[in-house]
């Protein structure tokens, strides 16, 4: 996994360099002293992941993140001296496409053993999300593994502003014998989601249920999270609610859920990103596409707010871009 470091502090850059070189599977591609230098280096030698500082001369990390995601997109992890102290800049960088944030490691007793633990943990998670998993210790061979039943196709639909009506347009095309499980991630306060589920149940043929902790996707059932935090999928494909990552302010986040789906769902994934403000869902959609899933973004003309699907288009996260009325029939075709 190729790493780029952006930091104007010689000491901080050296700490990051040592940590990167100490980890198996990580290669240092370049070090930039400011955001402008990083933008140019990224165009010439695109890394898999950039460790981006926030406060730098010439060009800060927020503007550099935006330009990199526009011109030569790749994964960006914000590494800053104070996550809480720089919270406004952190949110701006996340809105510009950064995946996560971590405090700059501080060395003690000339050792990187503990200083880089949090950083390496974040890098390991991101490596899985972008399809470049780091080497792990080989597992002991199980002489008699039990056969696994193939998972069915899973449909995930993410939406925000203008989402309820768009969801109705798509879900109303699904027949009552539709076999694939469907999970909808709609940006909405939990006090309104029971009403949304009730309303959808009156509009479509498939049953709509709110997700309880520990539920699994159900064939032919539309599942809707009822949360002010995030929905995640665990290793055994159970659904759970989590405050992590706390710095992702979309609740529930399409990105967070799609990243966990890419890690744990063994079957085919069809993911659609609909109308909505912001960038949530674009990186998750790209991760699903990189893992072999089929991804769809709503087109500009049929979107109430062309933010989230536009972000997906900009980073080439969508296998195809379709008008709203064609998304439902396309999903039916892909799952049949």
> Which uninterrupted H or E stretch holds 185?
strand 182-186
DSSP string over 278-294? SSTTHHHHHHHHHTT-E
Give the contacts of 291 (CB within 8 A, at least 6 positions apart).
131, 262, 269
Active site members: 160, 187, 280
Q: Of how many residues is the chain composed?
A: 336
Measured over the CA atoms of residue 176, residue 179, residue 181 and residue 187, the dihedral's sign is negative
> Three-state SS for 35?
helix
Helix (H) or strand (E) holding 334: helix 324-335
Mutual angle of helices 163-171 and 324-335, in 10-degree steps:
40
Going by C-alpha positions, the residue among 272, 270, 231, 223 that lies closest to residue 250 is 231
**Beta-carbon count within 10 A of 156 CB:** 28
- Least Cα distance to 287 among 305, 304, 264 occurs for 264
310, 276 contact by CB (below 8 A):
no
């Amino acid at each position: 996994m190729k790493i780029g470091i952006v930091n104007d502090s010689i000491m901080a850059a050296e700490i990051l360099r040592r940590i990167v070189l100490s980890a198996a599977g990580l290669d240092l591609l370049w070090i930039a002293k400011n955001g402008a230098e990083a933008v140019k280096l990224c165009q010439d030698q695109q890394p898999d992941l950039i460790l981006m500082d926030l406060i730098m001369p010439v060009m800060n990390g927020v503007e550099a993140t935006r330009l990199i995601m526009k011109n030569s997109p790749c994964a960006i992890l914000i590494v800053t001296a104070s996550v809480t102290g720089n919270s406004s800049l952190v949110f701006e960088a996340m809105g510009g496409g950064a995946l996560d944030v971590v405090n700059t490691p501080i060395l003690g007793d000339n050792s990187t053993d503990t200083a880089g633990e949090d950083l390496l943990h974040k890098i390991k998670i991101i490596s899985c999300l972008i399809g470049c998993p780091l080497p792990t210790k080989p597992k002991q061979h199980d002489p008699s593994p039990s056969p696994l039943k193939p998972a069915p196709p899973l449909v995930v639909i993410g939406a925000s502003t203008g989402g309820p009506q768009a969801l109705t347009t798509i879900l109303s095309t699904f027949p009552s014998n539709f076999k694939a499980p469907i999970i909808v991630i709609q940006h909405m306060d939990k006090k309104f989601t029971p009403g949304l589920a009730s309303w959808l149940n009156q509009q479509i043929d498939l049953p709509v249920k709110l997700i309880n902790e520990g539920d699994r996707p159900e064939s032919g059932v539309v599942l809707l999270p009822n949360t002010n935090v995030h929905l995640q999928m665990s290793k055994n494909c159970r659904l759970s609610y989590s405050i992590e990552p706390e710095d992702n302010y979309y609740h529930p986040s399409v990105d967070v859920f799609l990243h966990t789906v890419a890690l744990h769902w063994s079957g085919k994934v069809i993911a659609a990103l609909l109308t909505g403000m912001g960038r949530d869902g674009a990186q998750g959609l790209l991760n699903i596409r990189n893992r072999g899933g089929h991804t769809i973004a709503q087109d500009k003309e049929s979107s109430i707010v062309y933010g989230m699907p536009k972000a997906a288009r900009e980073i080439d996260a969508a296998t195809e871009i379709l008008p709203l009325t064609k998304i439902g029939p396309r999903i039916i075709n892909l799952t049949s």
